[in-house]
Amino acid sequence: MSQTLKVTLHNRLSELERVGEVVESFGETHRLPPKVVHAVTLCVDEVVTNIIGYAYADQADHRITLRLSLQADELAAEVEDDGKPFNPLDAPEPDLSLPLEERPIGGLGVHFVRKLMDGVEYRREQGKNLLVMKKHVSA
């Protein structure tokens, strides 16, 4: 049974459904708690959504690589793209206490990553963005 799953995604929003399927099937294979599967699905979705929306200046087809791996009780989700340099961890924390009228419309995706993952690391390597998110899998 392989402990690592690698999937190549296109920069199209219809791929988000596939992200859900891939994480779910990885979760089933390794009997991960549904809460963990959902948290990882959501965070990978948010990161990939940002990449598709903002990383590319052209309209061309790009590949985004998703790697899921399990080591002991830690799941790592790595997302790699060849878009412009972007460290999502640089984004400011949204103010969640603002009333409806003043709530900004963006910034929540990165907030989810910060809240739901146990560790997040960003690296720029060989012209690519690499974001590694880690989540403890104990129920």
Partner 1 sequence: MEITEQKKGSVVLLVLTGRLDAGTAGKLEERLVSLINAGDRSFVLDFMHLDYISSAGLRVLLMAAKKLKGLNGRIVLASLKDHIREVFDIAGFSAIFPTYEQQDAAVGSFQ
User: Where does this chain bind partner 1 (CB under 8 A)?
Assistant: 13-17, 20, 34-35, 38, 41-42, 45-46, 49, 52-53, 96-97, 100-101, 103, 105-106, 108-109, 111-112, 115-116
β-bridge mates for residue 78, sequence order? 67, 132
C-alpha closest to that of 26 among 44, 47, 10: 44
- Closer residue to partner 1 in complex, CB, 99/127: 99
Sheet holding 63-71, edge to edge: 4-10, 63-71, 74-81, 128-136, 119-125
- Closer residue to partner 1 in complex, CB, 59/126: 59
Considering the complex, what minimum distance in angstroms separates the CB of residue 2 from partner 1? 26
- Closer residue to partner 1 in complex, CB, 34/85: 34
Considering the complex, what minimum distance in angstroms separates the CB of residue 10 from partner 1? 12
Residue type, 21: E
**Residue 43 structure tokens:** 């965070």
Residue 45, φ and ψ in degrees, nearest 5:
-55, -50
Considering the complex, what minimum distance in angstroms separates the CB of residue 100 from partner 1? 5
Considering the complex, what minimum distance in angstroms separates the CB of residue 3 from partner 1? 25
For strands 74-81 and 119-125, give the pairing.
unpaired
